[in-house]
Amino acid sequence: MKIEIFENYEQMSRAAAETIARTVQAAPFPVLGLATGSTPLGAYRNLIEMCGAGVLSFKNVRTVNLDEYVGLGEESAQSYAAFMEKNLFSHIDIDRENTNLPDGKAEDPQAECERYSQLLKGMPRDLQLLGLGSDGHIGFNEPYTPFGSRTHIAELAESTIRDNSRLFGDISEVPRRAITMGIADITEAKKILLLACGANKARAVYDMVKGGIDEKCPASILQKHPDAVIMIDREAAQLL
């Protein structure tokens, strides 16, 4: 695990975008695992700028997202499908056919998990981008999710519902379940890039880096990954 600490969010975001851009440029048909949440927004803005300036192209890139709320589709502003469209896909030269998210509106969410697992098998990721939950979750793999888990329906922890309620009108509107890549799916990526910023992530960052490898902190599994890069700002690093 390589830890990189940045003075501020802008510097972290720039470095993250450069790492992603290098991955895209290094493979003829790159596969990126993408994440939602506030943390990667700066990195996405930098990628959009690079694409606009003509120094980066997503023409040959395929993407696969980590997760989606059960019950939400692209028409709902809080869905991760809408998030990706608004914050990245609509601003870059990617072919929408090459973008993938779990379908939160699938009639049979369990069958959707199986479809997504099959899809992941055929899409080995060159890089998986991750945020970090304040409880140490990655994707929606909450504490005590088995490290061997595959795509599944996750019950959101109360703390996650609270954290994510800021993006909904009312906490009662936050879905209680999500379809998420499992931890084994995530760690199969060749390279992992995890971003975390702000003091409310400091405890989770500490557990991820300094705690033992333990299912109570899902992100701690990254200690075992051969190429995991952790980019954090000073505030998130304050307990290290």
Total chain residues near ligand GLP (CB under 6 A):
14
* Selection from 15, 20, 17 nearest residue 3 by Cα: 15
Among 109, 131, 136, 175, binds ligand GLP (CB under 6 A): 131
Known catalytic membership, residue 227: no
Query: Hey, CA dihedral for 149, 154, 160, 166, is it positive or negative?
Result: positive
Q: How far is CA 104 from CA 65, 99, 181, 216, in A?
A: 12, 15, 13, 26
In the bound complex, which residue of the shown chain has the CB atom lying closest to ligand GLP? 131
35 belongs to the binding site for ligand GLP (CB under 6 A)? yes
Length of the chain: 240
Known catalytic membership, residue 135: yes
Among 160, 186, 193, 209, binds ligand GLP (CB under 6 A): 160
Q: Which residue, 27 or 143, has its beta carbon nearer to ligand GLP?
A: 143
Structure token digits, residue 161: 């519902």
CB 215, CB 139: distance < 8 Å = no
Structure token digits, residue 167: 């993006």
CB of 54 to ligand GLP, least distance (A): 29
Q: Which residue, 30 or 102, has its beta carbon nearer to ligand GLP?
A: 102
Known catalytic membership, residue 137: yes
Burial of 100 (0-12, 13-18, 19+ CB in 10 A): middle
- Report strand pairing: 191-196 vs 99-100: unpaired
Among 133, 136, 175, 218, binds ligand GLP (CB under 6 A): 133
CB of 25 to ligand GLP, least distance (A): 25
38 belongs to the binding site for ligand GLP (CB under 6 A)? yes
SS3 assignment, position 128: strand
Nearest-angstrom CA–CA distance, 74 and 90: 13
CB of 164 to ligand GLP, least distance (A): 6
Known catalytic membership, residue 142: yes
CB of 55 to ligand GLP, least distance (A): 26
Among 112, 140, 191, 205, binds ligand GLP (CB under 6 A): 140
* Selection from 140, 138, 137, 135 nearest residue 153 by Cα: 140
Residues in contact with ligand GLP by the rule CB under 6 A: 35-39, 66-67, 131-133, 139-140, 160, 164
